[in-house]
Chain A
Amino acid sequence: MGINHRMSRREFVGAGAAAVTALAFPLPAFAQAAARVVVIGGGFGGASCARALKQIEPKLQVTLVEPNRTFTACPFSNNVIAGLRSLEEQQFGYDKIAAGGVTVVAQAATAIDAKARTVGLADGTSLAYDRLVLSPGVDLRFEALPGYDEAAAAKMPHAWKAGEQTLLLRKQLEAMDDGGLVVIAVPANPFRCPPGPYERACLIAHYLKTKKPRSKLIILDAKDTFSKQRLFQNAWKELYPGMIEWVSLSQGGKVNSVDPATNTLITDFGNHTAQVANVIPPQRAGRIATIAGATDNTGWCAIDPVTFESKSAPNIHVIGDACIAGSMPKSAFSANSQAKACASAVATLIAGRTPEAPKLINTCYSLAAPGYGFSVAGVYQPKNGLFADVEGAGGVSPADVPRDFRAREADYANSWFATITAEVFG
């Protein structure tokens, strides 16, 4: 009773002090202190951005809207599929982000009123913002692949959003007989994680070679070239001879439809019936971006590369996989780089100044086997409304190097994952 009384008296004094301050110093600085930024999406992009906003300008009211209490990271999830890692090692919470002063709201954003600057949430409440950051990741375009839908994904997993789907693909591989056929269907560009399907092929082949050596893996590809192609193809030859077959677009690799009843993938020139079918469908920006009016007819979000502000929805910024970033690939590293630059631009705009053009970095590591890694790195800057490669910067791992070089890159990959997840969630 006495304690309650004391606390309420202290609250009363505190409120009075704030009121006095507001009356005594009605400066623009105070108005800035009240600026509200809402960030939608708690992945590598959104979580990084919310944190960076609070670090750059502690006075900002930053709200992170993310329905899931646990985030499951996609990078390294191919290791889970191959049985080399547990899903728990991919999972992170938002407690530390909340402890840093970000208000974390465990709700799905369902509506955006760009004029009134409000975000509607699934529970019927709404949040007002001065600037909104969207980091919604990708949605799967089920309608783009006849025969494939949510029900089909329970039989022919995409495993392109880490979590249950990752474990489902793992279980199917474990249940498959030695001598079975695994087929991976790869969409045309652009899609999340350009080297991902080929790393996945490697790590699945590693599992097959170890446990089910009579099995085969076919990649049906809607493209004729892919990220780190030479390194992957060399690794297939070196590590998994005769096990992986890549069927490119010009060899009839594009999957036009699927039949989940028979686990069949249908191309223009033939049918492939798989024991395990991993169907990675075409993608687009997460749905909330379309609700916000930030997507164009490609399904992705055109942005100003200096501020990340949407070209069609004012005061709304888009980062990560959902945005059209030119040469920058849709990766966790890109999303993290963009998030920090976007946070800086948003804080600068709120302060009434003009943001400077950022230079951004991305590195994508891929594992061809445990202890066998390689990478592609790039530096990007705004050019003609998109991100373009800075000439002479970055590059791809060399082709002909001893195995200890690949072992070191595999170590770097592990360090990268530990570092980025600590920065974003730790």
Chain B
Amino acid sequence: MASALINVPAKAKRGDIIEIKTLMSHIMETGYRHTATGEVVPRDIITSFACRYNGTEIFRADLFAAIAANPFITFFTTATASGKFEFEWIGDNGFSETASASITVE
């Protein structure tokens, strides 16, 4: 099962405000916890999320240790043209995931 979930409307009218929802499965280990033997559990978080609409970045977020596991990010944009939304999550330990969805704008 893919670890990314995205919800982009398949169709919209030009100029419509559309909601985009994303959810990335991730432990978001803060780096502030200790094991029973006192060792620090190393930090392992997503540090950045970005969305491009037909190649242009329309949304970006920096994520920090206080953000809960499985970050659910939702935002709005204006449907301007048919094409592709591309999503990218980057994090500690070389974490990198991408996803994409198409939209038809009439």
Contacts and interface: CB of A to CB of B under 8 A. Distances in A.
B4 to A, nearest CB: 10
Contacts of B25: 250-251
B7 interface: yes
Interface in B1-40: 1, 5-7, 21, 23, 25
A252 interface: yes
A252 to B, nearest CB: 5
A9 to B, nearest CB: 78
Interface in A224-253: 224, 249-252
Interface string A264-284: 000011100000000000000
Q: Which interface residue of A249, A250, A252, A270 has the most chain B CB atoms within 10 A?
A: A250
Interface size class of A (residues with CB under 8 A): under 10
A268 B21 contact: yes
A269 B72 CA distance: 11
B48 interface: no
B104 interface: no
Interface string B43-86: 00000000000000000000000000110101000000000000
A224 B7 CA distance: 20
Contacts of A252: 5, 23
A268 B8 CA distance: 10
A269 B5 contact: yes
Given A268-B21, A269-B23, A250 B70 contact: yes
A250 B7 contact: no
Contacts of A270: 7
Contacts of A249: 70
A249 B25 CA distance: 10
A252 B70 CA distance: 10
A268 B25 CA distance: 14
A94 B74 CA distance: 53
A42 B21 CA distance: 46
A269 B1 contact: no
Contacts of B7: 268-270
B22 to A, nearest CB: 9
Contact of B1 (A224, A251, A268): A251
A224 B23 CA distance: 14
A251 B3 CA distance: 8
Given A250-B23, A251-B25, A269 B69 contact: no
A269 B99 CA distance: 14
A250 B26 CA distance: 9
A250 B68 CA distance: 11
B43 to A, nearest CB: 20
A63 B54 CA distance: 71
A269 B70 contact: no
Contacts of B74: 268
B21 A250 contact: no
A119 B5 CA distance: 52
A250 B69 CA distance: 9
Interface in A205-226: 224
Lowest 5 CB-CB distances: which A-B pairs, in order?
A: A250-B70, A269-B5, A252-B5, A269-B7, A268-B21
Interface of B: 1, 5-7, 21, 23, 25, 69-70, 72, 74
Given A251-B1, A268-B72, A269-B5, 5 more contacts: A224-B70, A250-B25, A250-B70, A251-B25, A269-B21
7 contacts: A224-B70, A250-B23, A268-B5, A268-B21, A268-B23, A269-B21, A270-B7
